[in-house]
DNA sequence: GCCGAACCTTGATTCCGGTTAACTCCCGGA
DNA sequence: TCCGGGAGTTAACCGGAATCAAGGTTCGGC
């Protein structure tokens, strides 16, 4: 029962006062990386897993911190970002429930080179390097999953680079909205859908490599063109097909 | 002996008229991914390896082509890039001898989403998916290497994203020159070094997310500031320390 | 219900970098 | 030798997006 609960966005009341092995195993069974593992394997993993509850704004790690494992989001949102010498920040990714991060750094045995901060009160699991490495030696299929995961990550990142370098601000925003709509899985009758931004507009703007101001302006333009209706953090799309076809135009 | 030969930049006369297993093994022994493998393992690999000689300008694969393995550069340069709907091109990476590419796509069992084109006459190896997968099942340390390689790649890509989004054009160029100098390994007395650009300025500009014109302008500015001297494709740096400290300034 | 702090919007202005268009250089081939 | 084309440079101009600077909203806490 906590399994589904804790993969929702909103934290809700703490289901588990403190993590015992059995509960951990139940959580682990739903981790993408460990899907289909039998109880024995999960128990081995549980030894190196620790639950983390972090408040909104808390920093999980800074650039330069040593890495002892990887993280998995159970609920809430974690932002990965780096900060320039002048203090400006660029959000690389907003991690949502079910997603994990920090694997690559862990495998390289180097310190983190980005920082992670909770955008909302969040609950996550920390999986220690040691148990991952042990399991890798033991189980080739586990290796395959890790490789698949890293490949996927790489793909996304290249897609991001493509987005940043080939698309205008407006195109990036339209693309973001369309993707967000897709992943939300809402049916939306006859092309009408509403999506709720997962976090503040400023953060999303940074994720899309835009300033908050520019983001706001483009949203306004899209609204003026009748392609969207902005209502606080909720965006209504009267005709998603039209947004897809004419949204990119300028 | 051909081993070292073929890891140079310039192709030179073809050392091997056609690849037999023994020669292939000798080549494979120097592939980073396979370093330290014993002859038996290499022989297993050789079954799925094919040598490729491509002329300058030849396209190895387009976006959308199916992927049957990964590639390793023996000599020459291969550019990875994508093209926008409007036909403009963005270079993601310039692969040099000893580097490999296409692994991530191979593991995802998806078609290529970038294209690869030879910048010079080049020689490379194509390693079939099948032998890689077989070896992965057989050898956990091989998996580890793959994971390490993918992690490394991911790291570089994130560093690129950081570069693109946080640094000005000028800073990117200065950074590029400094990295190029570092990797060239030339000693360079009392801070004086010369580096030769690996390929055309237009291509490097695209790699750095700049237009050719802007790249040219910045080079000119740096030259005017006395930080570099441009002589065709060769860049002289009279004082590398000064470039490092004042090059970023604007 | 008031206050302050985040968050967001809006407008004015600036500027980095892209676009366009000559023009030069250099090299290779007929 | 001349020609043609690719690479590189230069300059004028433009525009997308950042910056600066106020306002406006929303919301939680006292």
Q: Can you tell me the mean pLDDT for B200-208?
A: 95
CB A143 within 8 A of CB A120: no
Q: Can you tell me the mean pLDDT for A105-118?
A: 95
Q: Do B108 and A152 touch (CB under 8 A)?
A: yes
Give per-residue pLDDT as tens, A213-249: 999 999 999 999 999 999 989 999 999 999 998 877 6
* CA atoms of A207 and A248, how far apart (whole Å): 19
* CA atoms of B33 and A36, how far apart (whole Å): 30
CA distances from B173 to A83, A96, B223 (A): 20, 35, 13
- For residue B68, say whether its CB is under 7 Å from any atom of strand D: no
Q: What is the mean pLDDT of chain A?
A: 86
**In the block, which residue shows the tokens 């999953």?**
A145
Q: Can you tell me the mean pLDDT for B94-114?
A: 94
Percent of residues, chain B, with pLDDT higher than 90 = 60
Alpha helices in chain A (DSSP H): 2-5, 21-28, 39-46, 103-108, 129-138, 140-166, 169-184, 201-207, 212-224, 240-246
**In the block, which residue shows the tokens 């080739």?**
A140
Q: How far is the CA of B92 from the C1' of C1 (A)?
A: 58
- For residue B212, say whether its CB is under 7 Å from any atom of strand D: yes
DSSP string, chain B: -HHHHTTSSS--S-S-SS--HHHHHHHHTTSGGGTT--HHHHHHHHTTEEEEEE-TT-EEE-TT----EEEEEEES-EEEEEE-TTS-EEEEEEE-TT-EE-HHHHHHT---SSEEEESSSEEEEEEEHHHHHHHHHH-HHHHHHHHHHHHHHHHHHHHHHHHHHHS-HHHHHHHHHHHHHHHH----GGG-EEEE-SS-HHHHHHHTT--HHHHHHHHHHHHHTTS-EEETTEEEES-HHHHHHHSS--
Q: What's this model's pTM, rounded to 2 decimal places?
A: 0.88
Q: What is the mean pLDDT of chain B?
A: 86
Give per-residue pLDDT as tens, B54-79: 999 999 999 999 999 999 999 999 99
Q: Do A154 and B158 touch (CB under 8 A)?
A: no
């Amino acid at each position: 029962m906590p399994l589904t609960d804790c993969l929702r966005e909103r934290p809700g009341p703490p289901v588990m006062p403190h993590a015992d092995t059995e509960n951990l195993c139940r959580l682990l069974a739903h981790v993408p990386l460990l899907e289909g593992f039998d109880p024995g394997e999960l128990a081995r993993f549980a030894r190196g897993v620790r639950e983390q509850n972090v408040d909104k704004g808390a920093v999980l790690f800074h650039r330069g911190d040593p890495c002892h494992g990887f993280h998995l989001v159970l609920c809430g949102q974690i932002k990965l970002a780096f900060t320039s010498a002048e203090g400006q920040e660029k959000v690389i990714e907003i991690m949502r429930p079910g997603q994990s991060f920090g694997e690559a750094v862990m495998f390289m045995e180097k310190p983190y080179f980005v920082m992670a901060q909770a955008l909302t009160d969040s609950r996550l699991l920390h999986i220690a390097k040691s148990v991952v490495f042990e399991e890798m030696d033991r189980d080739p299929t586990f290796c395959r999953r890790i490789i698949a995961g890293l490949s996927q990550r790489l793909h996304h990142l290249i897609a991001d680079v493509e987005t940043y370098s080939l698309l205008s601000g407006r195109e990036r925003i339209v693309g973001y909205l369309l993707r967000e709509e897709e992943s939300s899985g809402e049916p939306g009758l006859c092309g009408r859908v509403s999506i709720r931004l997962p976090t503040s507009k400023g953060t999303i703007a940074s994720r899309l490599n835009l300033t908050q101001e520019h983001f706001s302006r483009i949203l306004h333009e899209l609204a003026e063109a009748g392609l969207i209706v902005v209502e606080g953090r909720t965006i209504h799309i009267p005709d998603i097909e039209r947004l897809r076809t004419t949204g990119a135009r300028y």
